[in-house]
Homo-oligomer: A and B are copies of this chain.
Amino acid sequence: MTVVAAGATLDAFVAVRAATEGLAAPLSAEDQTVSSMPDVSPTKWHRAHTTWFFEQFLLLVASPGYEPVDERYLYLFNSYYEGAGPRHPRAERGLLTRPGCAEVADYRARVDEAVAALLARRQGDPAVDATVELGLHHEQQHQELLLMDIKHVLGTNPFRPAYAAARPARGGARPLGWLPVDGGVVEVGAPPDGPFTFDNETPVHRAWVEPFEVADRLVSAGDWLEFMADGGYEQPGLWLSDGWAAVRAEGRRAPLYWDAAPDGSGWIVHTLEGHRPVDPAEPVVHVSYHEAEAFAHWAGARLPTEVEWEVAARRWAPDPPVRPIGMHPAAGADGGWWGQVWQWTASAYLPYPGFRPAPGLVGEYNGKFMCGQHVLRGSACVTPPGHARLTYRNFFPPAARWAFSGLRLAR
């Protein structure tokens, strides 16, 4: 394997693949095996599935004579691609003890080797490079999912173990201000000839916005404590009907991962860095769309639409910093547009005008989920470095809370 010969694509491939293994490294074989709820996939499944993506969409397509590492993995590690044949039921991912972590590591190594060889043979081939690029962005998404998921697994454990060492808190609380944004016909979305984007960010299109204002910082845990103290979780009039039903059915009275301190002194939060008191200055995280919407209602404001968010971020914070992966949002002075929490928008996740799914099997990547979800913008502390951008459309169902989801107000 000649790294130099294969060039930048191989460098990126090696780096992203190694980053995944780095995220799994602190976890025991037991940790990597379990699924704690239907949305959560085991760590070793993420490691294998991202590998399958390269095997299925790159090696089996572009590498004549390639023999799959194990035919059965093509079935086991397909997530939801109907076009790629039958697949193991999602609900049973947490029942699979074999292949184990060691066999998954071996699977990764053998596919990595085959991809590296292919890149060496086909250096500069744009079709190959495009598939690898897509696979790496796909793998970065799973790096974030891996952290979301293992946070939930560890959060169901009565011991509430930490995944990583705690870092010192940064900064303090600050009052909320408002930033003005002009209205009119605007253009949003990703152009066809720019850097990599997912198909759901295209095409560039026009929209009308009225002038508006957007908050200069995220909603904080301290803001949320005020909402709670003011009976936010007890007033049905603040809530969407579905949101109130969830509050009642599940007894929700705080964000996910918040527990009342046994001594009644306040709230404790489970983080990837361990169990600790809620810091009022940090951005609130792990709230559903329903909760975000109720909070905005209570605050006399609203959530921005995704068009508004994109226009506002372009005006006030256009460049996502390339920053190291973190494990929990932290108070800071930068307004929190990037690298803290995903920000719920008022927009349902729907196709842009003129949207066409990418051709081929990967056309199933985004388009088929355009129903029943809401868009989040920005990026989170656990989003891999280099993965954030202005036109990125993240999406989750409105009741979901296990993503690193928070909010920014508009009015």
- Using a CB–CB distance below 8 Å, which chain A residues touch chain B? 28-34, 36, 44, 72, 75-76, 80, 82-83, 88, 92, 94-98, 100-101, 153-154, 156-159, 161, 185, 205-208, 210, 236-237, 239-244, 289-290, 293, 346-348, 350-351, 353-354, 363-364, 368-372, 398
Contact = CB atoms under 8 A, between A and B. Distances in A.
A98 to B, nearest CB: 5
Given A30-B44, A34-B34, A205-B210, 13 more contacts: A30-B100, A36-B95, A72-B159, A76-B158, A96-B157, A98-B154, A207-B208, A210-B353, A237-B364, A240-B369, A240-B370, A243-B371, A293-B371
The listed residue with most B CB atoms (<10 A of its CB), out of A208, A353, A372, is A372
A150 to B, nearest CB: 9
The listed residue with most B CB atoms (<10 A of its CB), out of A156, A364, A368, is A368
A72 B30 contact: no
Contact of A398 (B97, B293, B346, B372): B372
Contacts of A210: 205-206, 353-354
24 contacts: A28-B29, A28-B98, A29-B29, A29-B30, A29-B100, A30-B97, A30-B98, A30-B100, A34-B94, A34-B97, A82-B236, A82-B237, A83-B236, A95-B153, A98-B154, A98-B157, A98-B161, A185-B185, A210-B354, A241-B368, A289-B371, A293-B371, A346-B350, A371-B398
B185 A208 contact: yes
Contact of A239 (B31, B34, B76, B368): B368
